[in-house]
Amino acid sequence: EAQVTQNPRYLITVTGKKLTVTCSQNMNHEYMSWYRQDPGLGLRQIYYSMNVEVTDKGDVPEGYKVSRKEKRNFPLILESPSPNQTSLYFCASSLVRGYEAFFGQGTRLTVV
Amino acid sequence: QQPVQSPQAVILREGEDAVINCSSSKALYSVHWYRQKHGEAPVFLMILLKGGEQKGHDKISASFNEKKQQSSLYLTASQLSYSGTYFCGTEGGTSYGKLTFGQGTILTVHP
């Protein structure tokens, strides 16, 4: 089944404790991206990747890191999480830029 | 800068029509439309590319006026299943590949 898989689905952590949210797709898509969703603000892109080893900043990259060492995986790293990073996070992939995006099921992160 | 969607919310009865607008301040390559139901991930509706095209499937269609940097989503003869939050995403300006979404329009369809 074609899908984008994020893990974990739910995470509660403490300020400053490094964490990684994984994202994996099995569709051989080139384009992948991360979004955060907050009430009233819609979806805001954090980082995107046009292909392996090619990543670029979205609209809200501060406090986040990503890597794209292989096509299928695009992990989101929070080196020192803060409470203002409490949010619902979505990973998405598409065949290439400008095509239909498939979203993962979301990760609800709470930083206390 | 986020595109601006209007209205912020709309309530319909089944069978009524609705239009959701998306306006950007920058020149656009493409406009993407997604629908998200409560507690679920966004789901793709359609993409419109630079060229002023209009697309549609079933009773949902959209237009893209690149000169005005605007797109509109048309929902005709609405069904209960149309309820959800609709987002437009825009790609343009100097940011090739970056997708910026609007704040969303909440659509509620009542029987």
- A98 touching chain B per CB within 8 A: yes
Q: pLDDT of A74-107, one tens digit each?
A: 999 999 999 999 999 999 999 988 889 999 999 9
CB contact under 8 A, B97 and A31: yes
- Pair B20, B5: CB distance under 8 Å: yes
Q: What pLDDT sits at residue A63?
A: 97
Helices (H), ranges, chain A: none
What pLDDT shows up at residue B103?
A: 95
Q: Which residue of A has its CA nearest to B40?
A: A105
B71 and B20 in contact (C-beta within 8 Å)? Answer: no
Give contacts of A90 with chain B, Cβ < 8 Å: 41-42
B101/A42 touch (CB, cutoff 8 Å), yes or no: yes
Backbone CA torsion sign across A14, A15, A20, A25: positive
Cα–Cα distance for residue pair B74/B80, rounded to 1 Å: 15
What mean pLDDT is reported for chain A? 96
According to the model, what pLDDT value does residue A13 have? 97
Nearest chain B Cα distance for residue A98, angstroms: 7
Q: Provide the pLDDT for residue A60.
A: 96
Q: How many CB atoms lie within 10 A of CB A88?
A: 15
Choose the closest CB to B44 out of A45, A90, A101.
A101
Q: Do B41 and A56 touch (CB under 8 A)?
A: no
Residue A23, pLDDT score? 98
CB-CB: which of A41, A56, A92 is closest to B97? A56
Q: Is there a contact between A98 and B29 if contact means CB atoms under 8 Å apart?
A: yes
List of E strands, chain A: 4-7, 10-13, 19-25, 31-38, 42-51, 54-57, 65-66, 76-78, 87-94, 101-103, 107-111
- What are the pLDDT digits (tens) for A15-64? 999 999 999 999 999 999 999 999 989 999 999 999 999 999 999 999 99
Residue by residue, pLDDT tens for chain B (111 residues) are: 899 999 999 999 999 999 999 999 988 889 999 999 999 999 999 999 887 666 667 789 999 988 899 999 999 999 999 999 999 999 987 777 899 999 999 999 999
Encoding tokens for residue B23?
């306006």
Q: How confident is the model at residue B9, as a pLDDT? A: 97
